[in-house]
Amino acid sequence: MTFILTNDDGIDAPGIRALSKALGGQGIIVAPKEPHSGCGHQVTTHKPIHLDKRSPTEYAVDGTPADCTRIALKHLETETKWVLSGINAGGNLGVDVYISGTVAAVREAAMHGVPGIAISHWIKRPLIIDWELATKWTERVLETLWNIPLNPGSFWNVNLPHLEIGSPEPEIVFCEGSIHPLPVDYRVERDYFYYYGEYAKRQRAEGTDVDVCFSGNIAVTLIKL
């Protein structure tokens, strides 16, 4: 198989290295030169996009995650079988899928008939992500998802939990995405609004991806265009 690996944290982020390791070093990395967290499905159409070929299997794109997918599928690997995005440093649960550049990369793939998997790691502050553990969990998830048929126009959204040392091994739970909004709070200073919504305080309806992930398990959600 030909895998394209991308993200929205940038090509030098540890998460994309963990994703590559989970695939045993397979795949071609086509990722943004700079971080684009929260950029959604933004694409670049009114200026040229610079492509830096770092190696035969690694390309830095001066554009968004969706740009990376477009360039990869149309110019670098036209026979791509899967697009994988992540591992994002931070959750992409529920309605985050509309905001996330990580998810947009695989949504763009699905638009072109290529299946994809977006993988994110919720951050439970003040804990720090253990990327070796994230790699191990991602290997488990991929082994599971490879064996499940994926209809055209669909893709997987995966969120890894953030566990304390000594916690039980997380289960893989297939679930629906939450439709509740993120906490939206601002501190106002004169004409400036500073966002300070607390991610961990979002609503977590029972059985949704937010609830599953916050409860210590791996949330897997099927998303359709």
Mean pLDDT of the chain: 96
Sign of CA dihedral 14, 15, 21, 27: negative
Cα 158 from chain centre:
8
Q: What percent of the chain has pLDDT over 70?
A: 100
Closest CA to 100 of 152, 52, 183, 157: 157
Is there a contact between 219 and 212 (Cβ–Cβ < 8 Å)? yes
Stretch 24-49: mean pLDDT: 96
Stretch 49-56: mean pLDDT: 97
3-state secondary structure of 132: helix
pLDDT score for 197: 86
Is there a contact between 89 and 121 (Cβ–Cβ < 8 Å)? yes
Q: What is the pTM of this model?
A: 0.95
pLDDT score for 1: 67
Q: What percent of the chain has pLDDT over 90?
A: 97
CA–CA distance, 38 with 36 (Å, rounded to integer): 6
CA–CA distance, 155 with 100 (Å, rounded to integer): 14
45 pLDDT higher than 80 = yes
Is there a contact between 219 and 137 (Cβ–Cβ < 8 Å)? no
Stretch 213-222: mean pLDDT: 98
Taking only the tens place, the pLDDT of each residue in 67-107 is: 999 999 999 999 999 999 999 999 999 999 999 999 999 99
* Residues with Cβ within 8 Å of residue 192, at least 6 apart in sequence: none
Q: What are phi and psi of 213, to 5 degrees?
A: -70, -45
pLDDT score for 38: 92
All structural domains of the chain, each given as residue ranges with its CATH number in brackets, are: 3-224 (3.40.1210.10)
Taking only the tens place, the pLDDT of each residue in 136-188 is: 999 999 999 999 999 999 999 999 999 999 999 999 999 999 999 999 999 99
Task: Please report how many Cα atoms fall inside a 13 Å half-sphere around the Cα of residue 193, on the Cβ side.
Answer: 5
